[in-house]
Chain A
């Protein structure tokens, strides 16, 4: 069964606003990864945060990780219409099984 769960399931914002989505997981992890999926396409890696890191930035993306709460958040600042996509967290466990969450569907309204 999948161990990652994102919330909210769907998010709709105006262009220029910030979007925050969260991920919770169940077992110990080596790292946590966020991916984006545009409609009808494969997934694209966005950012990886290791289990000993608490925060990481990449361009307009900011990821936090709280291993005590088994949760992570992805913040997209100054959103654009092109950010419209589904966002998934993925957690390779220490057993090296790889699980994706159910995803957050983000709509950015121009």
Chain B
């Protein structure tokens, strides 16, 4: 089966600009996760979807980050406006259901200058 697809792979923007990341999960996977991974740290969960509903967004900085999963398939994560501290790798993962094994995309490396 095809894996989790993410785009773009790399993005460089200036602070205060906007950026969007896209994720296409494995077909049939109900749960989708967005993580932020700062260099040298573990992935930090930003938001978790179950189909097109939000299960957990407690660590999402809602003043600048937003995410949606229309029709319970693809998802986009947006940052507006970006700050220097948002420089990180943004990982998308999906699983058949909550608590199951997660399959990760290759990630999007964001640099905010």
Q: Identify the A interface with B (CB < 8 A).
A: 2, 4, 30-31, 33, 35, 41-45, 48, 88, 90, 92, 96-103
**A88-B43, A96-B99 given. 5 additional CB < 8 A pairs?**
A2-B42, A43-B43, A96-B55, A96-B98, A102-B41
Distance in angstroms from B76 CB to nearest chain A CB is: 18
For residue B104, CB closer than 8 A to chain A, the reply is: yes
Q: Identify the B interface with A (CB < 8 A).
A: 4, 33, 35, 41-45, 48, 55-56, 58, 91, 93, 98-99, 101-107
B91 and A43 form a contact (CB under 8 A): yes
Main secondary structure on chain A at its contact with chain B? strand
B105 and A42 form a contact (CB under 8 A): yes
Contacts of B91 in A (CB 8 A): 42-43
Distance in angstroms from B35 CB to nearest chain A CB is: 8
Q: How far is the CA of A33 from the CA of B33 in the complex (A)?
A: 16
B101 and A48 form a contact (CB under 8 A): yes
**Are A92 and B99 CB-contacts (below 8 A) given A42-B91, A42-B106?**
yes
**Are A99 and B45 CB-contacts (below 8 A) given A42-B91, A43-B91, A92-B99?**
yes
Contacts of B102 in A (CB 8 A): 33, 35, 43, 45, 90, 98
- Closest B residue to A102 by CB, please name it: B42
Q: How far is the CA of A71 from the CA of B35 in the complex (A)?
A: 24
A42 and B104 form a contact (CB under 8 A): yes
Distance in angstroms from A102 CB to nearest chain B CB is: 5
Cross-chain contact of A97 among B41, B42, B48, B101 (Cβ < 8 A)? B48
Distance in angstroms from B2 CB to nearest chain A CB is: 14
A98 and B99 form a contact (CB under 8 A): yes
- Closest B residue to A47 by CB, please name it: B101
Distance in angstroms from B79 CB to nearest chain A CB is: 20
A88 and B42 form a contact (CB under 8 A): yes
Distance in angstroms from B55 CB to nearest chain A CB is: 6
Contacts of B104 in A (CB 8 A): 42-44
A100 and B42 form a contact (CB under 8 A): yes
